[in-house]
Each structure stands twice: as structure tokens, then as C-alpha cells.
Structure 1
Amino acid sequence: MQGSTGAGLDPCGVLQTIVTLPADGRVEIVFLLGEAENEAEARQMIAHYRTVDLDTVLDEIKQQWNRICGSIQVKTPDRSMDIMLNGWLLYQTLSSRVRARAGFYQASGAYGFRDQLQDGMALAASCPALVREHLVRAASRQFVEGDVQHWWLPQTGAGVRTHISDDCTWLGYTVAHYVTTTGDIAVLDENIGFREAPPLPITEHDNFMVPAHSAESATLFEHCARALDRSLAVGVHGLPLMGTGDWNDGMNRVGEQGRGESVWLGWFLYTTLEIFIPIARARNEDMRADKWQQHTRKLARALEHTWDGDWYLRAYFDDGTPLGSHTMPECQIDAISQSWSVLSGAAMPERANHAMRSAIHRLVRQQDGLILVLTPPFDKAMPDPGYIRGYPPGIRENGGQYTHAALWTVMAIAVLGDGNLTQTLFHMLNPITHSQTPEQAARYKLEPYVIAADVYSEAPHVGRGGWSWYTGSAGWMQRVGTETILGVRIHADKLLIDPCIPQHWPEFEVTLQWKTARYSILVKNPDHVCRGVRKISIDGVQTYMMHEVNMQDDGLLHKVEVILGS
């Protein structure tokens, strides 16, 4: 009804005008939608855009998006993969996740500490300045004790201090990725202030407030190091403390008393320490590096004790009850403990392989096109894991497809070298695959060009998409497609090429913009293998570096040919 607003309604704004066209007539209608700090500023913007050449403005916007989304273009035998990797995923990551920080029915505007750090990893090559800026912004939300605001509002700085355990590790992980990709080691010396607030008692899950600016400041490296040092505390099993959630915020009661432990965080912390130790040694931080190295050895041993027979546990509750065990009626297996056992490189190889086989058997439902995050879903069993049980079984993190976790499953299969299964799983996650017929589209109910945060897995909503646009899965899907499957990565001034593709792919192409130069990469697969680079040549000259090409910022087009084979 016109003029109606309120709870449960879906209001919209409407502009209407009448245009009468003569025969063969033509009219151009322009309307301006924007925002400003106040009325005077809004009027100034309106006056400005009434006088400028709007076609020029539109062209500038198109060129900006073409530079970002066109920074990498691919051509593979999988047309649906090409469509997503050639701009849509980068557009979703930047427009919804980084700039708007909102999506349909997901009003937010806040920065999530771990969230936009992860998004930036997909943008490090195409928008390095923007990513650098956010690394500094995120580090500025760290308390002097090393923990951080889990999320905050940029206008006021108000946000929550929590006991969520993985935020601190993400800072070092993402900073290391940015430095490796761009070669910008100077960012580690950026001087950044800390925040101050009363410590959060273990009896409180969170505290929403505006923290004060501390007089203390330190380099970005020190911010990362302090966060990692904060992550070294362990429980009785020698594993990182779970707190009120790790990657899965919904498991907020597993370690709420300060004794529960996270197996997944053990794998992830191991990974981050291993990639940050060389950075520390390069800065002559040997005492810290030695301490971290000793901790990784202890972690690796402790993590092997979480083997449950066919897969690794997910966590331990405060009282020592295992989570993610075959002995429990709910959440017998959780995907991310298995995938990161592989991605970390810390697990015994035979166990990591076995764990992923178990994950594929228990969590992949090919008939429905789903890769579940855990099974069976939580419902009534005790101990209570937290608000994840507030979702009906099969919805979101509670046993649905949580695409973020599903992409880590795809990454792990690629690390194990099975390009056939890797591509099958990636294709299952592609939203185009869920919308190829009217029946599929009616079931999925989301945009076919936008990755969804989650897809439901239980009747009567099997295959229905949940949240779209505002999901960190977009950035991870871009990285899995380009870096993991097509195997194209940038390390400072080096181009690394190490694909993991289906055996039946005869070839694929990647065109990459790097600074002023453009690299056209043709990968041929004459022996029908999944993995293994036999020969690389650049501009007709063979290089004898395995998987690697030195790049030049010379404004030229360079042609790279890669031959796969044993």
C-alpha cells in the first residue's frame, strides 16, 4: 500500500514521470541517486552532476571496473567457470563486501575483523592500494593486549570486544599473503596505534563499546606478532583455546568457560606461524621466530592426538567432551578440520588423505549439488554448542552448505592432486550450475551470477540458496578458481604456475595484467594429466625454473606457454 512502512513490509522508493514520444522520437531520462553528509553537500552534488558530461562520468566508471575485473581473464573448457572468474566474483567481493559491506536484507556497514581481511586476499593483485589501506585500518582496531574488535562501525569506532579466538591469527595470515603477492615489505613498518578498554571477563561473551585511543603504537609487524603471541595459549590437549567461537561464530558455547579447545584453529595457527616465521627472521626477530617454531612442533604433535579413526575432531568442549567425533549423535564430522589438516601440511599424509576421503563420502551430496559443512546437524544433543543450534537442521552453518567452508574442501582436494574431483566440486558450487533450468532456478531462488553464503540441505528446502552478495565466499571462490585450479599466482615479481585440472582438459588460457605489462598464458595438457609442469617458455624462450617466470614491468605483452606432463 502506498505510503506504508513497518516491520515485515518491504518498502521501496518510486520516481514517476510522463513522457510523450512522437513517431521515431527519442528521449534520454536521467535520475540521480546518491548520499551526502548533509543537505548542503547533497545540493552541491546535484548542482555538479547537472553540469558535467554524464557520458564521460559513466565511461570513467566502466573503465575503473574494467581495470579491476579485467585484471585476470580466463578461457577454459568450463564456460560457467569462465563467467564467474572473469569479473563477477571480483565485482561481488569489492562492491558488496568491501565498499558497501551490505547486501539484500543484510544491512550492516560494519567492518568484520576477519571478514574484510579475507576479502582483501582476492583483491591483492588487482587493488593493492585498497588492500594495504585496510590492513592498516584493521590493525588499528587491536587492543594493547593483542586481541581485537571482532567488528566495528567506521563512523564511530563502536564495536565488540569478544573472546572469539581466530581473529588474531587472521591478521598475520592476510598480511603475509599481501606481502608475498605484492612484494610490499614496507607495509610491515607502518606505525599504527592501539586501542584501550577494560579487559573482558571470561564470564562475558562480548562488550559493545567505543574503545579509547592508546598512547602506544607499533609497526604493523608488531601488531601481527602481538596477535600471534596472543594465540599461543593452549588447553589440556595442547590445542588453541576455542573461546566463544573460532571461524564458526555459531559455536559460541563450546569454549565459553575458557577451557574448550579448537582443532581447526590448531591447523590454521600452525599454517600462519609457518608463513610468518620467515618474515620474522628477515627482520632479525629470531627469539620470536624460535618461540613460534617450537610452538608449531608442539601443535603438530597435539593435533595428531585428535585423530578419531577416520577423520580429525573439530574441537573439545570446556568439560573435555569431543566435538566432531563418530561417538556423538550430532556433528560427527566437520569439514574444516579435515581440509585444513591438508592445507596446513601439518598432518600425517596418510591420515590427511584418509580424512578427506571421509569428508567426501560423508559431506558431498552430488545428487543435490551440495558440499556440507558438517553432519548430522545439531538439534537437541548435549553439550550445547551455541547459537548454531538456533538454525534449523540443514540451514546455514548447521549442516547446510556453507560455501566458505566448501571452498576449503575444494582447495584441499587440489592440494592432494585430484584435478578431476577438484573441478567436479568447484562446478557444484558455481551458482550457474544451480540455475540452468527453470526447475533448478525455482529451487535455488537466487541470482545465478552471485555466489551464495549458504545453500540449504534438508527437506523441504533442499537446494535453496540462503544469503547472496554479502558473503566472503566470493573472494575465496575467485582464489580457488584462479590460484588453486588454474594455478596462477603472483609472488612479488614472479609468476608462479602450478595447475590442478581435470585430465580431459586439453588446454586453457589466462590473461593477466601485472602493473604495466600483460601476460598471456597458454597451458597445454597433451598427456592428459591433472598436475605436473613439464616445460615453461616465455616469449619463445624456454625457462628452466620450475613453475616460475620472472615478470617485467615494461608495458609489453608477454606470451607464456606451459606444457603439462610427467
Structure 2
Amino acid sequence: KVLHWWHPLTDEGLKTEMTDDLLWLPYMVIRYLKETADFQLLQHEVPFYDGGKATLFEHCTKAIDVVFSRFSKRGLPLIGEGDWCDGFNTMGLDWKGESAWLGMFLYTILTEWLELLTRLDAKKYHDVIHLYQKKALNLKEALNTYAWNGQWYIAATKDDGTPIGDPSQEEAKIYLMSQTWAVISGIANEERKQQVMEAILQHLEADTGLMLLYPAFTKPDKYVGYITRYAPGLRENGGVYTHAATWGVMALAMAKRPHDMYRIFSKLNPILQAHRDADKYMAEPYVLPGNSDGKDSRYHGRAGWTWYTGSAGWLFTIAHEYIVGVRPDYDGLIIDPCFPPEWDSIKVRRPFRNAVYNIIIQNPKRVCGGVEEIEVDGKRINGHIIPVFNEGTHEVIVSLKG
């Protein structure tokens, strides 16, 4: 058991049957390890909420295994009281409804966890690696068989099997998260990647970013959840929910669509929105809003819930790691930019572990990515990963190829 909406100052949280909460632990542990290489942390003992204690490594593995214990006969994870979208809180109360997004999130974690296990001790974890490889393969196949409707990936199914995020429905015909994470997770092949990116731009692009779903729910549905009780176009119900929209930027960058990516990134920028029409935008220009109204709202483009959202951290990270393209990995800093070809260069100062890297990415051929050459302290290196240095400041020059 884990708690939802944890408040550290009061040590309080909400007991729910949300099905994604526990998976954020292994996801963030992997990110932490790539940044720090502090593998000893995995052996740190941590108490369980419901009694007992185990190492952090065991906590992460148990989180993965618990989700695997809650699968449908079709091989998709059950949604329970909601996945990332808290508003889907009644969709799976009978433990029959499925979540396509949760399957994609789990697949992302599995592929990363498999790499970690191999690095730690491939021989010791041989049986677990073999098991997770098989489960990942089956999950990918199930998602591409049962969550794919021919045009895009559905969001979920209700307990009675009704799909959400499907063209067969009157409302919520398409859902952003299933398309972006199909790209982020790698479960979609190249053809489907481009198809779902086209779909979100065609159906979900609004004045301030990408809407979470469209068209909005117009009447409450007790078998979907409280999302249907929001006014159409407000918050999760067809609004631009900033947290989800940041992953849209990430997916477009990963799909190598720099112009689309940067257009959506710019639409999320509160400074630009306030400059464009401050009266319409209504929110402060110096902080990200939690959401802004979508096309089904009479106040389309109005922002709200500022000073609240954690998506500021996500947008900052995505800008650095997928637009500028400097992101941490176990063996160093990966260089993989995706930015508009009009940009001639970027300068980055990146502290990483015990060293500092002054990085210049040069773009004389006006391309959007693709590393041709990297020099570190005047010496050319192979590949596109800057190696780890134990100390000092290092000068890095990256040249992009045409």
C-alpha cells in the first residue's frame, strides 16, 4: 500500500486504490541513479507504510510485481480507482477496467529496470531478467493489440468494457496521455509514432498547448469519475492540463518533430501567453498554471491554478533533456538535441556528479539534431555520450550533422 496526495509536513496522505502511485518510486529511483550513480542507495532500508521494512531495491521490485498482480485477461493493467488521471476514479472499482497509459508507464519502467539489473549483476538476477523480459514483450503486444483502435491508442476501458479515448464514443474520443507515452515508452513503431503525433496535433492542439482529451464530457458519468463533473473544457475535462502537456513536448521531440515541439513548448510559456493577450490568459506571466481552458470552454485560453503545479519541474527538465538534448545516463551525459533548425548554437553549463561541463552545441548546417562530432577538452570522442570526469571543469564542443 502507498498513499495518494502525501503531505510531508503533517505526515498525512489519502488511502486509495490508485494504481500508478507505487510505480513512481522505481521510475524516480532510476532517474536518480542516472544522475548520481549512487547505487549504494538501493541497499538503504526503508519502512513500508503498512508495516515491516525492506531495502529500496526491494521496495521498487515489489511495486512492479504488485502492478503485475493486477492484470486483465487481455494482459493489460487494471485501472482500479484511477491511474495518472485521478479523475478516472470510478472507472475500475470492480477491478475489471483497464488502463492503456498505465501499461505504457509500466513498460517504460520495465525496460529501464532490466538495464539496471543487467548493470548490477546480470548473473545474479538472471531469472528476474528473463521473467521481466517476457512480461515486457507480452505487455507491448497486448497494448498494440487491444489498446490500438486503428487511429490511435485508447485511454482505458470501464468495468463494462466500454473504451474511453475512442472514436466510437460521443465524448472523450481521443486522450493525450496514451499517445505521448506510446512514443515515450517505445511501444509504438515508427509509423504509429508519427500517426499518433499527427492525431494529437489535429484533435488536441489548443491556444495554450495540448488538451488532455477531446471532446469534453458534457454530463456526469458515475462509471468514469469526477472528471466528468468538471465543466467542459475545464481542467482534466478537455482543458490543457499542463502536467500532461509537458509530456507532449517530450514526445514530439522524441519523434523528431522540432517545429511542432517548439510551437507547443511556446504555447505553454506563460510569458508569451501574457504578452499575446493578458486579459484572455488572466494568470501571472511568471509561473506555470496547473491548467488552462480548452476549446469546449467559453473561456478558451484562460489559465488557472498557478503556484500549484509540479509541471514546472517537468517542463524545465524536458527543455534541458529533450530540446537542448543534454540528459544524464549511467555512463555520462547523452547529447541528443531536437530544436528548430533556425537556432545556430546553444550554450549549456551542466554540473554532473563531481564535474562541470561547459557545452556548446553548434548548428552551422541549420539542422534540428543529429550529432556529427564531439570534442571534450580539445579531444574528439566517439559516439554521443560525454564521459564522466571525477573533477574539474571541462569544455565540450558539439557539432550537428546535416
Same-fold status (TM-score > 0.5): yes
Given the alignment, which residue of 222, 226, 231 partners 1:387?
226
Give 4+ residue runs of structure 1 displaced > 4 Å after superposition. none
Considering only CA atoms, is the larger Rg found in Structure 1 or Structure 2?
1
For the aligned residues, what is the CA RMSD?
1.7
Counterpart in the other structure of 2:373: 535
| Residues 252 and 386 in structure 1, CA contact (< 8 A), matched pair in contact too | yes
Alignment map for 1:51-70 (pairs within 5 Å)? none
Gaps of 5+ in 1: 1-146, 197-213
Counterpart in the other structure of 1:222: 58
Q: How many angstroms apart in 1 are the aligned matches of 2:224 and 2:283?
A: 30
Counterpart in the other structure of 1:258: 95
Q: Is residue 160 of structure 1 aligned with residue 7 of structure 2?
A: no
Q: 1:208-259, CA deviations, whole angstroms, 9 ceiling, x for partnerless residues?
A: xxxxxx2x22110000000110011211321000001000000101111111
> SS of the counterpart of 1:453?
strand
Q: How many angstroms apart in 1 are the aligned matches of 2:98 and 2:332?
A: 39
Q: How many angstroms apart in 1 are the aligned matches of 2:367 and 2:10?
A: 54
Classify 1:459/1:192 alpha carbon distance in 2 versus 1 (closer, same or farther; 3 Å): closer
Counterpart in the other structure of 2:361: 523
| Residues 314 and 337 in structure 1, CA contact (< 8 A), matched pair in contact too | yes
Counterpart in the other structure of 1:434: 273
Residues matched between the structures, number: 396
| Residues 158 and 223 in structure 2, CA contact (< 8 A), matched pair in contact too | no
Classify 1:492/1:292 alpha carbon distance in 2 versus 1 (closer, same or farther; 3 Å): closer
Q: Is residue 240 of structure 1 aligned with residue 77 of structure 2?
A: yes
Q: 1:452-488, CA deviations, whole angstroms, 9 ceiling, x for partnerless residues?
A: 1100124431111111122121111011100010001
Alignment map for 1:468-483 (pairs within 5 Å)? 468-483=306-321
Q: How many angstroms apart in 1 are the aligned matches of 2:351 and 2:140?
A: 39
| Residues 36 and 353 in structure 2, CA contact (< 8 A), matched pair in contact too | no
| Residues 514 and 553 in structure 1, CA contact (< 8 A), matched pair in contact too | no
Q: Is residue 285 of structure 1 aligned with residue 139 of structure 2?
A: no
Counterpart in the other structure of 2:148: 307
Classify 1:418/1:158 alpha carbon distance in 2 versus 1 (closer, same or farther; 3 Å): closer
| Residues 221 and 228 in structure 2, CA contact (< 8 A), matched pair in contact too | no
Q: How many angstroms apart in 1 are the aligned matches of 2:297 and 2:49?
A: 47
Question: TM-score normalised to the size of structure 1?
Answer: 0.68
Q: How many angstroms apart in 2 are the aligned matches of 1:175 and 1:234?
A: 24
Counterpart in the other structure of 1:19: none
In structure 2, what residue type is equivalent to 1:510? V
Shift of 1:564: 0.4
Instruction: Say which structure, 1 or 2, has more relative contact order (CA 8 Å, 6+ apart).
Output: 1
Q: Is residue 464 of structure 1 aligned with residue 310 of structure 2?
A: no
Q: How many angstroms apart in 2 are the aligned matches of 1:489 and 1:301?
A: 29
Q: Is residue 396 of structure 1 aligned with residue 235 of structure 2?
A: yes
> SS of the counterpart of 1:266?
helix
Counterpart in the other structure of 2:352: 514
Classify 1:494/1:271 alpha carbon distance in 2 versus 1 (closer, same or farther; 3 Å): same
Shift of 1:500: 0.5
Given the alignment, which residue of 228, 250, 269 partners 1:411?
250
Shift of 1:498: 0.9
Q: How many angstroms apart in 1 are the aligned matches of 2:182 and 2:297?
A: 31
| Residues 420 and 530 in structure 1, CA contact (< 8 A), matched pair in contact too | no
| Identity rate, percent | 40
Shift of 1:382: 5.2
Q: 1:404-460, CA deviations, whole angstroms, 9 ceiling, x for partnerless residues?
A: 1111111111111111221111111111111115xx112212221211110012443
Counterpart in the other structure of 2:67: 231
Counterpart in the other structure of 1:565: 401
> SS of the counterpart of 2:289?
coil
Q: How many angstroms apart in 2 are the aligned matches of 1:516 and 1:275?
A: 24
Q: 1:361-385, CA deviations, whole angstroms, 9 ceiling, x for partnerless residues?
A: 10013xx233111000012275731
In structure 2, what residue type is equivalent to 1:170? W
Shift of 1:521: 1.0
Q: Is residue 356 of structure 1 aligned with residue 197 of structure 2?
A: yes
> SS of the counterpart of 1:237?
coil
Shift of 1:347: 1.8
> SS of the counterpart of 1:526?
coil
Q: 1:475-514, CA deviations, whole angstroms, 9 ceiling, x for partnerless residues?
A: 1101110001000112356222110011111111111233
Q: How many angstroms apart in 2 are the aligned matches of 1:528 and 1:161?
A: 52
| Residues 508 and 523 in structure 1, CA contact (< 8 A), matched pair in contact too | yes
In structure 2, what residue type is equivalent to 1:225? T
Shift of 1:177: 0.9
| Residues 329 and 381 in structure 1, CA contact (< 8 A), matched pair in contact too | no
Counterpart in the other structure of 1:188: 42
| Residues 488 and 495 in structure 1, CA contact (< 8 A), matched pair in contact too | yes
| Residues 35 and 353 in structure 2, CA contact (< 8 A), matched pair in contact too | no
Classify 1:427/1:162 alpha carbon distance in 2 versus 1 (closer, same or farther; 3 Å): same
Counterpart in the other structure of 2:327: 489
| Residues 189 and 219 in structure 1, CA contact (< 8 A), matched pair in contact too | yes
Q: How many angstroms apart in 2 are the aligned matches of 1:420 and 1:154?
A: 40
Shift of 1:301: 1.0
| Residues 404 and 473 in structure 1, CA contact (< 8 A), matched pair in contact too | yes
Question: TM-score normalised to the size of structure 2?
Answer: 0.94
